[in-house]
Chain A
């Protein structure tokens, strides 16, 4: 396959970025999108140019590191897929592909396609955990959790924190990410105890990081590689409202 790439090149978050055009001739349909970028980088290095910086880690679709905008869509045209699991067979010979980093004020560009998503980590640190005393692991069946409940919690826990929800949102809202964690923990007996304090601190942190508000367009759910439900956002709103209204 012959591919034309228009890749966003930007030195750092202060510099002005622009699309640069590259041509690749021998692209296999079986290559993953990242392998195609690796091929480009080898070519660039051989030419003495700076390689294109992009984030990646597991390349198995589970770590959430490899998020870029491909042809104007987070993680590219395939639904429920991360960038690393997108293959070149999704494109045609002679295609021009636009590659841009995720853009939001809370995600400053580090270089090229690499952005700093620490803001999402800060949200988790503000309350996305269960406070437990360390010690021996408790007996697994001492707190009964039904199968349905465990599955529902796990559906929310499937979020890999890639930031595609923020990138796809017209308001750059991190509501889906934040609510997935709140919803995950609220549905389990161990996590539920702290729901009312957790939801307030996580929502406040989300605000502090400079994310936008949620207007329920549901674009985040459509583009989420894990298919996290927008109903988690409604649950977060419910828990937040309940916490504020029942405040003593």
Chain B
């Protein structure tokens, strides 16, 4: 993959992997919304849901595609930012080019780094813990991931970390979803308008959806 030098092809790879990751965000959000149920019900349902995902071969295969997409998306971003640095050469001494575009569209790499760092923490705390850690079991005999999640969100700093990361993700999506479609060649003005609206709405809904969960858990536990 590192041998592909053409930036249009590279950007296509970025778009496809990005869209797959965006699609995953919907599924992940829907699953996690179960955390908003009343505590006793949420615990059993969330744990059995996690158990179901863990044991399904199709889900396992999709998860490998997911890991691959995260890797390819990140490697591509690093490659392209080196290419950008080479193409730019010397920088401007007086630069006001920022007036012509949104700050988040110009800082996709920075937003991406925040998301990546968050993902490392997120994977370590939940994914790794669930897969390889020693977990207590609930009354149904499933690993009690629910309690791990709830305990984690008792801490304010952890909730703040999540909100910052989700906001970064939100802005990344605000530009990324529509940009991916452009990259893949949708040039019709009407469909561009539709994709722009749908893409931005998607980013807002995903952001709100993911922010509600840690906030709900934190304030629910406080009360």
Contacts and interface: CB of A to CB of B under 8 A. Distances in A.
Given A203-B6, A207-B5, A213-B80, A103 B100 contact: no
Given A100-B94, A210-B87, A219-B97, A170 B7 contact: no
Contacts of B95: 72
B89 A217 contact: no
A84 to B, nearest CB: 20
A51 interface: no
Given A203-B6, A231-B187, A241-B184, A212 B83 contact: yes
Interface string B166-210: 000000000100110011111101001000000000000000000
B140 interface: no
Bin the interface of chain B by size.
35 or more
A105 B88 CA distance: 6
Given A207-B5, A235-B185, A171 B93 contact: no
B9 interface: yes
A233 B94 contact: no
A216 B179 contact: yes
Given A8-B93, A100-B92, A234-B187, A172 B84 contact: yes
B172 to A, nearest CB: 12
Most chain A CB within 10 A, of B80, B88, B175, is at B88
B94 A72 contact: yes
Interface in A225-248: 230-242, 244
A158 interface: no
Interface of B: 5-12, 80, 83-84, 86-97, 99-102, 105-106, 108, 175, 178-179, 182-187, 189, 192
